[in-house]
Structure 1
Amino acid sequence: MPIIVKRFVDWTVSWLPMYGEAKLLLIIYLWHTSTRGAGHVYDGFLHPLVSWHEADIDRGLLDLKARDVTASQLKAVAAIGQVWLLEAARCVSS
Protein backbone atom coordinates (compact mmCIF):
# COMPACT_ATOMS: atom_id res chain seq x y z
CA MET A 1 0.00 0.00 0.00
CA PRO A 2 2.68 2.61 0.83
CA ILE A 3 4.32 1.99 -2.55
CA ILE A 4 1.02 2.71 -4.30
CA VAL A 5 0.64 5.96 -2.34
CA LYS A 6 4.26 6.95 -3.09
CA ARG A 7 3.84 6.31 -6.81
CA PHE A 8 0.57 8.22 -6.91
CA VAL A 9 2.08 11.21 -5.09
CA ASP A 10 5.17 11.09 -7.32
CA TRP A 11 2.97 11.01 -10.41
CA THR A 12 0.72 13.86 -9.31
CA VAL A 13 3.34 16.19 -7.79
CA SER A 14 6.54 15.42 -9.71
CA TRP A 15 5.88 18.24 -12.18
CA LEU A 16 6.40 20.86 -9.44
CA PRO A 17 9.73 22.68 -9.57
CA MET A 18 12.32 21.36 -7.11
CA TYR A 19 10.14 18.38 -6.12
CA GLY A 20 13.10 16.00 -6.10
CA GLU A 21 15.16 18.34 -3.95
CA ALA A 22 12.30 18.84 -1.49
CA LYS A 23 11.82 15.08 -1.25
CA LEU A 24 15.55 14.62 -0.58
CA LEU A 25 15.46 17.29 2.14
CA LEU A 26 12.49 15.55 3.77
CA ILE A 27 14.34 12.24 3.81
CA ILE A 28 17.44 13.88 5.32
CA TYR A 29 15.26 15.63 7.92
CA LEU A 30 13.67 12.33 8.93
CA TRP A 31 16.99 10.45 8.95
CA HIS A 32 19.44 12.86 10.58
CA THR A 33 19.78 12.56 14.35
CA SER A 34 20.33 16.27 15.08
CA THR A 35 16.94 17.26 13.62
CA ARG A 36 14.98 14.49 15.39
CA GLY A 37 12.57 14.61 12.45
CA ALA A 38 11.43 11.01 12.74
CA GLY A 39 10.70 11.58 16.43
CA HIS A 40 8.61 14.64 15.64
CA VAL A 41 6.63 12.76 13.00
CA TYR A 42 6.11 9.79 15.34
CA ASP A 43 5.08 11.93 18.32
CA GLY A 44 2.82 14.18 16.27
CA PHE A 45 1.18 11.70 13.91
CA LEU A 46 2.00 8.02 14.32
CA HIS A 47 1.74 7.68 18.11
CA PRO A 48 -1.81 9.14 18.30
CA LEU A 49 -2.86 6.98 15.35
CA VAL A 50 -1.42 3.81 16.87
CA SER A 51 -2.84 4.55 20.33
CA TRP A 52 -6.28 5.19 18.76
CA HIS A 53 -6.22 1.72 17.15
CA GLU A 54 -4.35 -0.08 19.94
CA ALA A 55 -7.23 -2.40 20.81
CA ASP A 56 -7.64 -3.47 17.16
CA ILE A 57 -3.90 -4.06 16.82
CA ASP A 58 -3.81 -6.15 20.01
CA ARG A 59 -6.81 -8.19 18.85
CA GLY A 60 -5.15 -8.84 15.50
CA LEU A 61 -1.91 -9.94 17.19
CA LEU A 62 -3.83 -12.31 19.46
CA ASP A 63 -5.58 -13.79 16.42
CA LEU A 64 -2.23 -14.33 14.72
CA LYS A 65 -0.82 -15.91 17.87
CA ALA A 66 -3.83 -18.24 18.10
CA ARG A 67 -3.37 -19.28 14.49
CA ASP A 68 0.33 -19.90 15.10
CA VAL A 69 -0.44 -22.11 18.11
CA THR A 70 -2.97 -24.01 16.04
CA ALA A 71 -0.44 -24.49 13.25
CA SER A 72 2.21 -25.72 15.69
CA GLN A 73 -0.31 -28.08 17.27
CA LEU A 74 -1.21 -29.44 13.84
CA LYS A 75 2.48 -30.02 13.11
CA ALA A 76 2.86 -31.89 16.40
CA VAL A 77 -0.19 -34.04 15.68
CA ALA A 78 1.12 -34.77 12.19
CA ALA A 79 4.47 -35.84 13.63
CA ILE A 80 2.76 -38.13 16.15
CA GLY A 81 0.58 -39.57 13.40
CA GLN A 82 3.67 -40.22 11.28
CA VAL A 83 5.30 -42.10 14.17
CA TRP A 84 2.16 -44.17 14.68
CA LEU A 85 2.03 -45.01 10.98
CA LEU A 86 5.67 -46.16 11.06
CA GLU A 87 4.98 -48.31 14.13
CA ALA A 88 1.90 -49.79 12.47
CA ALA A 89 3.93 -50.57 9.35
CA ARG A 90 6.58 -52.30 11.44
CA CYS A 91 3.97 -54.38 13.23
CA VAL A 92 2.34 -55.42 9.96
CA SER A 93 5.64 -56.31 8.30
CA SER A 94 6.87 -58.48 11.18
Structure 2
Amino acid sequence: MLMVVKTFMDWTVSWLPMYGEAKLLLVIYLWHPSTWGAGHVYDGFLHPLVAWHEADIDRGLLDLRARARDMTTSQLKAAAAIGQVWLVKAARCVPS
Protein backbone atom coordinates (compact mmCIF):
# COMPACT_ATOMS: atom_id res chain seq x y z
CA MET A 1 0.00 0.00 0.00
CA LEU A 2 2.80 2.39 0.90
CA MET A 3 4.57 1.75 -2.40
CA VAL A 4 1.37 2.49 -4.32
CA VAL A 5 0.93 5.80 -2.50
CA LYS A 6 4.61 6.67 -2.95
CA THR A 7 4.56 5.85 -6.66
CA PHE A 8 1.35 7.84 -7.19
CA MET A 9 2.70 10.83 -5.25
CA ASP A 10 6.01 10.72 -7.12
CA TRP A 11 4.15 10.61 -10.41
CA THR A 12 1.70 13.41 -9.61
CA VAL A 13 3.64 15.98 -7.55
CA SER A 14 7.31 15.31 -8.25
CA TRP A 15 7.35 18.36 -10.50
CA LEU A 16 6.82 20.67 -7.51
CA PRO A 17 9.88 22.58 -6.33
CA MET A 18 11.51 21.16 -3.20
CA TYR A 19 9.49 17.93 -3.43
CA GLY A 20 12.53 15.76 -2.69
CA GLU A 21 13.49 17.89 0.29
CA ALA A 22 9.93 17.82 1.64
CA LYS A 23 9.89 14.03 1.32
CA LEU A 24 13.20 13.82 3.17
CA LEU A 25 11.85 16.04 5.96
CA LEU A 26 8.80 13.79 6.25
CA VAL A 27 10.99 10.71 6.59
CA ILE A 28 13.11 12.43 9.25
CA TYR A 29 9.96 13.53 11.09
CA LEU A 30 8.63 9.97 11.10
CA TRP A 31 11.99 8.46 12.04
CA HIS A 32 13.46 10.79 14.67
CA PRO A 33 12.57 9.86 18.26
CA SER A 34 12.27 13.41 19.55
CA THR A 35 9.43 14.33 17.16
CA TRP A 36 7.20 11.32 17.90
CA GLY A 37 6.14 11.54 14.25
CA ALA A 38 5.48 7.83 13.77
CA GLY A 39 3.50 7.80 17.03
CA HIS A 40 1.34 10.68 15.86
CA VAL A 41 0.66 8.97 12.53
CA TYR A 42 -0.15 5.68 14.26
CA ASP A 43 -2.40 7.22 16.92
CA GLY A 44 -4.15 9.55 14.50
CA PHE A 45 -4.63 7.33 11.45
CA LEU A 46 -3.55 3.71 11.71
CA HIS A 47 -4.90 2.74 15.14
CA PRO A 48 -8.47 3.93 14.43
CA LEU A 49 -8.40 2.20 11.03
CA VAL A 50 -7.15 -1.09 12.49
CA ALA A 51 -9.59 -0.88 15.41
CA TRP A 52 -12.49 -0.31 12.99
CA HIS A 53 -11.58 -3.38 10.92
CA GLU A 54 -10.31 -5.59 13.76
CA ALA A 55 -13.00 -8.26 13.37
CA ASP A 56 -12.36 -8.57 9.63
CA ILE A 57 -8.60 -8.78 10.19
CA ASP A 58 -9.02 -11.48 12.85
CA ARG A 59 -11.37 -13.45 10.61
CA GLY A 60 -8.90 -13.23 7.73
CA LEU A 61 -6.03 -14.37 9.94
CA LEU A 62 -8.02 -17.36 11.18
CA ASP A 63 -8.88 -18.28 7.59
CA LEU A 64 -5.23 -17.93 6.58
CA ARG A 65 -4.15 -20.13 9.50
CA ALA A 66 -6.63 -22.84 8.50
CA ARG A 67 -5.54 -22.71 4.86
CA ALA A 68 -1.86 -22.88 5.87
CA ARG A 69 -2.57 -25.88 8.12
CA ASP A 70 -4.42 -27.67 5.31
CA MET A 71 -1.65 -26.89 2.82
CA THR A 72 1.05 -28.09 5.23
CA THR A 73 -0.85 -31.30 5.89
CA SER A 74 -1.28 -32.02 2.20
CA GLN A 75 2.38 -31.25 1.47
CA LEU A 76 3.54 -33.51 4.30
CA LYS A 77 1.33 -36.33 3.04
CA ALA A 78 2.74 -35.90 -0.47
CA ALA A 79 6.30 -35.90 0.85
CA ALA A 80 5.59 -39.02 2.92
CA ALA A 81 4.20 -40.79 -0.14
CA ILE A 82 7.26 -39.86 -2.19
CA GLY A 83 9.53 -40.99 0.63
CA GLN A 84 7.70 -44.27 0.90
CA VAL A 85 8.03 -44.92 -2.84
CA TRP A 86 11.73 -44.04 -2.68
CA LEU A 87 12.24 -46.35 0.30
CA VAL A 88 10.52 -49.26 -1.48
CA LYS A 89 12.64 -48.71 -4.59
CA ALA A 90 15.79 -48.53 -2.49
CA ALA A 91 14.87 -51.73 -0.66
CA ARG A 92 14.40 -53.55 -3.98
CA CYS A 93 17.85 -52.49 -5.17
CA VAL A 94 19.66 -53.78 -2.06
CA PRO A 95 20.85 -57.39 -2.55
CA SER A 96 19.73 -59.74 0.20
Would the TM-score normalized by the shorter structure come out above 0.5? yes
TM superposition outliers: structure 1 runs of 4+ over 3 Å = 79-91
* 2:48 paired residue number: 48
The 1:87–1:15 alpha-carbon spacing in structure 2 relative to 1, beyond 3 Å, is closer
Identical columns (%) = 65
CA RMSD of aligned residues (A): 2.2
* 1:81 paired residue number: 81
Distance 1:76 1:37 in 2: 46
Aligned residues: 93
| Matched position secondary structure for 1:34 | coil
* 1:13 paired residue number: 13
Taking structure 1 as the reference length, the TM-score comes to 0.80
* 1:26 paired residue number: 26
| Matched position secondary structure for 1:20 | helix
* Mean CA deviation greater in 12-21 or 82-91: 82-91
1:39 aligns with 2:34: no
Q: Kindly state the Cα deviation for residue 87 of structure 1 after the two structures are TM-superposed.
A: 7.1
The one-letter amino acid paired with 1:46 is L
Q: Which runs of 5+ in 1 are unaligned?
A: none
The 1:14–1:86 alpha-carbon spacing in structure 2 relative to 1, beyond 3 Å, is closer
Q: Which runs of 5+ in 2 are unaligned?
A: none
The one-letter amino acid paired with 1:61 is L
